[in-house]
Amino acid sequence: MEFITGIGGVGGSLISYVIPFLFVLTIVVFFHELGHFLVARWAGVTVETFSIGFGREIYGWNDSKGTRWKISWIPLGGYVKFLGDENAASTPSKDALENMTPEQAAGNFHAKPLSSRAAVVAAGPVANFILAIVIFTGLILAFGERIVAPLVAEVRVDSAAEAAGFEVGDRVLEISGTRIDSFRDMQMIVSFSADERLEILVERNGENVLLEATPTVYEMTDRFGNVQRIGLLGIGADPDPANALHVRHGPLTAVWMGVEQTWFIVSRTFQFLGDMIVGREDTSQLRGPLGIAQTSGQVATLGLAALINLAAVLSVSIGLINLFPIPMLDGGHLLYYGVEAVRGRPMGDEAQEYGFRIGLALVLMLMVFATWNDLTHLRVFEFLSNLLS
């Protein structure tokens, strides 16, 4: 009976995760590929296929210019295939380049000028960043912003804040050069800065005082049972909700705030990767498709707005990852184009082939590692062990 209950629970969880996950991922992937598609059409490249997902086609149609739009069985990404591509990774087809007619050459992606090819490749990640900015802007316009003043209402005993010399009544002005307008601004920076020395400028009795503090590492369990490692100073905000302001912003301000939120995710991602390399961050924090699916399902319980916000965060992450200089990714293609610009001619076919193989191996290893972390976080191994014991 416990076995059946366990299977039922896992099955129910999978359903609640999969639908929000596919919703979020489809939005992000569609806009990424749409960026490639639109710039390719603008550059005169013939687009043969626009696919959401991989593998066998479920449903599709041809547009007036001959592009096959389709939805495929494996919903873990997508691709745009141009005339002259050998595969979905946009590897150039040598046969197509050698045997194309003048009409085909006009639409062949790999026969286009270097600047056009680079613009087409970069358009995917750029579209992801634009999507994130649009979503953040829309949410700010729709819901406004709740602002709690960055005033220190409490300094906890034996905390990093006490050691740094914080006092009740201090108003935080800047953290390591970043202006602070609300308590939330301060929380966002501190939570990503565990064990990192911060210079904090506060206003105290009409004078500016510079403090140095190192947030301590704190393991926080959220409402869904996920354990997260964050930085903590040990100061409290004004607990009276009546002192919080609800501010509505105009379109220009909302757009700027959307850009700031997008840049914050980019900068903190680089910080996390750097900390992970030097050992300050745990590599178990890396998540793969299963982890994203779990997060999507959990966030979906908070409402549509929260799920759309997650789509914006994921869009920034996918855009950024695709810019990494790894063959198989957009950044790898841009790296090849950079070499081509310096040499005055493309890299040799053999060098490109080895590069794509190395890139594929790196991507596969990262996926396996992230999926292993996902299975560990989801306690799948623990579940299987209990079934077998």
3-state SS of 85-99 is ECCCCCCECHHHHHH
Q: What is the 3-state secondary structure (H, E, C) of 202-233?
A: EEECCEEEEEEECCEEEEEECCCCCEEEEEEC
pLDDT at 5: 41
Alpha-carbon distances of 79 from 56, 128, 200, rounded to whole Å:
13, 14, 46
- State the number of CA atoms in the 13 A half-sphere of 87 facing the CB: 7
Tokens of 352: 């490109």
pLDDT at 345: 84
C-alpha Rg value of the chain to the nearest Å: 25
The reported pTM is 0.81
pLDDT at 140: 93
pLDDT at 289: 64
Catalytic residue among 2, 33, 196, 340: 33
pLDDT at 267: 87
Indicate the angle between helix axes 330-343 and 114-143, nearest 10 degrees: 140
Instruction: Using the structure block, give the residue that is written with the tokens 């959220």.
Output: 222
Instruction: Using the structure block, give the residue that is written with the tokens 């041809």.
Output: 62
| Residue 36: its H or E element | helix 2-42
Classify residue 211 as left (phi > 0), alpha (psi -120 to 50) or beta: beta
10 Å CB burial of residue 316 (0-12, 13-18, 19+) is buried
Alpha-carbon distances of 43 from 35, 37, 127, 188, rounded to whole Å:
12, 10, 16, 41
- The SS3 assignment for 187 reads helix
Rounded to the nearest 5 degrees, what angle is found at the Cα of 103, between the Cα atoms of 101 and 109?
A: 90
pLDDT at 9: 45
Tens digit of pLDDT for each residue in 278-298?
766 666 666 666 666 666 676
- The SS3 assignment for 11 reads helix
Buried b (16+ CB within 10 A) or exposed e, 250-281: eeeebbebbeebbebbbeeeeeeeebeeeeeb
Tokens of 226: 């996920």
Low-confidence residues of the chain: pLDDT under 70:
1-16, 86-101, 104, 220-227, 242, 279-296, 298, 300, 370, 372-389
Active site residue 48: no
pLDDT at 52: 92
